[in-house]
Structure 1
Amino acid sequence: MTVVTIDSDELLADVHRPAGGARGTIVLAHGAGGDRNSAILRAYADELSSRGWVVARIDLPYRRRRPKGPPSPSTAAADRDGIRTAIEALRGDTEGPVLAGGHSYGGRQASMLVAEDASVADGLLLSSYPLHPPGKPDRLRTEHLPSLAVPTVVVHGHSDPFATSTELADAVALIPSDTRIVEIRGAGHDLRPDRTPTAPLAADAVDEFWSVGA
């Protein structure tokens, strides 16, 4: 595996390329408080690239503008455009499927982008989808889920305060395409890849999901 950094006016990404032929490409965006170097994105990239995927860990536009702090709702559309730009830049790398996704905020923005335009990606990998703010289960972020027309893998920590397992299952059931939930016992929202087998289980699920032509 090799890791190459792309740093241009439009894109900042670390791209993991497998040693042999690539089976597809996955673009992953970080959570609201992180960046492309977050532990969970690194863990996903290592595991997925070892299975033959090209994986790009990207900095979203709001993070490129400032190194710390959360995103603003007013710039969410620009963050979605940043995911689209990354996908377009990497689409020609392989002949296989192109997946989009990321952790928490990054995954949510990827799912909203694909709900708006299904041609952007062939599938989604959503890590710790932030279904609602902690302690506010009435504020569900599900409006766009019925518009998702691509296969979707969702990785969920059993103790995630942003969604109980039941809440998440009910939300994922709104997606009309093929779905799979990978639940990580003993994990919270950050999924702690140093303490739980999050990344291997997620990579196995993605690999199996796409091996059967999902």
Structure 2
Amino acid sequence: MTAGPTTTEVDTPHGPARVHVHRTDGHPRAVLLLGHGAGGGVEAPDLKAATTAALAAGLHVTLVEQPYRVAGRRAPAPATQLDAAWLAVAAWAGEEFEGLPFLFGGRSSGARVACRNAADGKAVAVLCLAFPVHPPGKPEKHRLAELDGVEVPVLVVQGERDPFGRPEPAPGREVVVLKGDHSLKADVPGVGAAVGEWLEEVSPAPR
């Protein structure tokens, strides 16, 4: 049995972030950092499913609450602030889990943060749950450059009726489409299965 999570606050340039660390049993393969959506928290069902799957695959998991959420605000901070806070947590995690490779991930806005910072954070892979390709009803305002710019393996898990659109598969990018919408609540077991299978493929061997 894995022990329960530990929670700590990490200083960032924009206030403290809160991190919830779940440690896998045995010899870990890597660490998965997961971020929440713009208006939600780390208790989202798809994030829980991804956490369970990652622990079973031999990864530690760090769920990251952005400083604006820790401060009690629901409106998201600007992208530059989200990115700076994310990289500050990644630096902290690099010391906490010295020597282990890192995967970045998140749902919705958190997936965008993971993509934008994959290179600077030296992530070996990126997990995107419900990547928001464009605002609902505005396909011309797409954010595909963030996703296309990732140069490591990517998994996108998307609902078939997601009003934020759906990215296409591409070299190095796998897209799994499940029933449901942007919340991914309609097939939570499907989320866990897709994430677990992908992690087994892309995660380094245990050390």
- Corresponding residue for residue 189 of structure 1: 182
Moved more, 132-141 or 84-93: 84-93
- Output the amino acid matched with 2:38: A
Is the aligned partner of 1:123 residue 2:125? yes
Q: Give the counterpart of 1:51 among 54, 57, 78.
A: 57
CA displacement, residues 20-64 of structure 1 (integer Å, 9 cap, x when unaligned): 111000100000111122222122112211221000111012212
The question of 1:14 aligning with 2:16 is answered no
Deviation at 1:96, TM superposition (A): 3.8
TM-score, normalised via structure 2 length:
0.85
Change (3 A) 1:45 1:30: same
* Seq. identity, %: 28
Contact 1:11/1:82 (<8 A) preserved: yes
Does the 8 Å contact 1:128/1:155 carry over to 2? yes
Give the number of equivalent residue pairs.
198
Q: Which runs of 5+ in 2 are unaligned?
A: none
- Given the alignment, which residue of 30, 50, 53 partners 1:24? 30
Q: Which has the higher contact order (CA 8 A, sep 6+)?
A: 2
> Which of 30, 53, 76 is the equivalent residue of 1:71?
76
1:106 counterpart = 2:110: yes
- Normalized against structure 1, the TM-score is what? 0.83
Q: How far apart are the structure 2 equivalents of 1:195 and 1:180?
A: 18
2:43 paired residue among 33, 37, 62: 37
Partner of 2:161: 159
Letter in 2 for 1:79: L
**What RMSD, in angstroms, separates the aligned Cα atoms of the two structures?**
2.2
Alignment partner of 1:86 is 2:82: no
CA shift for structure 1 position 200? 2.3
Give the Cα separation in 2 of the matches to 1:21 and 1:103: 27
Amino acid at match of 1:187: G
Q: Structure 2 vs 1, CA of residues 47 and 161 (structure 1 numbering), >3 Å: closer, same or farther? A: same
1:179 corresponds to 2:173: yes
SS at match of 2:105: strand
